[in-house]
């Protein structure tokens, strides 16, 4: 069974959490999937609590019931996972549309039928995502725009946002830039200048 696609919605939208006793808390939506997600919180929230969760997306607000899971203690900032436990069909349609449109730029960029020139505008829409920046640098390079590719590589190398994507992409990219034997197409293109 494949794991549902996880995405980071544009602008890391704010989320409102309403507890059963009426108390509210605010957070930022770090990542989302159709089964749950990860909230960026100022302080850990009660694991096991069933809450009403509302967040904004470019498709519109999404409202659902969720269970808070154990906070990620190893993270330097408060990250609180959750899983959806109930959601109206209309809300689920909005969530799926928001996820699909957030993955579309990367999907278009990696599609073999799409030229790199066509992929660039879609990747440029998501310049706050290290995965998109890496793909964007490669697309610029393959399109022959070495100056912009190099600038995008520099942006990626200096990227510092405490997210899972940053932790996975940026350190390896920085090591590759420092290693003369590293064989990435983007690095090779920047070295040819």
Q: Are residues 117 and 94 in the same domain?
A: no
Are 73 and 126 members of one domain?
A: no
Question: Does residue 105 lie within any of the structural domains?
Answer: no
Range of the domain at 175: 111-191
Residues 91 and 141 in one domain: no
Query: Do the beta carbons of residue 84 and residue 66 sit within 8 Å?
Result: yes
* Number of domains within the chain: 2
Q: Are residues 139 and 79 in the same domain?
A: no
Instruction: Give the end of a domain, one of 64, 98, 132.
Output: 98
CA proximity to 82, closest of 30, 9, 126 = 30
Are residues 61 and 137 both part of a single domain?
A: no
Reported as type and span, the H/E element at residue 174 is: helix 164-178
Q: How confident is the model at residue 109 (pLDDT cuts 50, 70, 90)?
A: very low
Q: Which of 43, 63, 98 is the last residue of a domain?
A: 98
Within-domain flag for 3? no
The predicted-structure confidence for 11-67, as pLDDT tens digits, reads as follows 788 999 999 999 999 999 988 989 999 888 888 888 899 999 999 887 789 999 999
Two tokens, residue 139 = 């697309």
Give residue 56's pLDDT: 87
Q: Which residues contact 104 (CB under 8 A, 6 or more apart)?
A: 122
Q: What is the pLDDT of residues 132-179, one digit of tens each?
A: 677 778 778 888 888 988 888 888 888 776 666 566 677 777 777 777
8 located within any domain = no
Q: Looking at the domain assignment, is residue 106 inside a domain? A: no
């Amino acid at each position: 069974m494949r794991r549902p696609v996880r995405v980071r919605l544009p602008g890391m939208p704010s989320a409102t959490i309403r507890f059963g006793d009426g108390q509210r808390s605010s957070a930022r939506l770090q990542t989302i999937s159709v089964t749950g997600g990860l909230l960026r919180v100022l302080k850990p929230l009660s694991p096991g609590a069933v809450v009403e969760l509302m967040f904004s997306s470019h498709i519109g607000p999404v409202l659902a019931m969720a269970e808070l899971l154990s906070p990620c203690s190893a993270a330097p900032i408060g990250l609180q996972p959750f899983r959806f436990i109930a959601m109206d069909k209309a809300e689920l349609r909005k969530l799926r549309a928001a996820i699909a449109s957030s993955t579309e730029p990367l999907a278009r960029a990696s599609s073999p039928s799409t030229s790199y020139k066509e992929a660039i505008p879609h990747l440029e829409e998501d310049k706050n995502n290290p995965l998109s920046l890496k793909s964007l640098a490669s697309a610029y390079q393959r399109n022959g725009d070495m100056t912009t590719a190099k600038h995008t590589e520099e942006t990626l190398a200096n990227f510092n946002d405490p997210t899972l994507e940053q932790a996975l992409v940026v350190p390896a990219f920085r090591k590759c830039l420092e290693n003369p034997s590293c064989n990435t197409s983007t690095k090779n293109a920047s070295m040819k200048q």
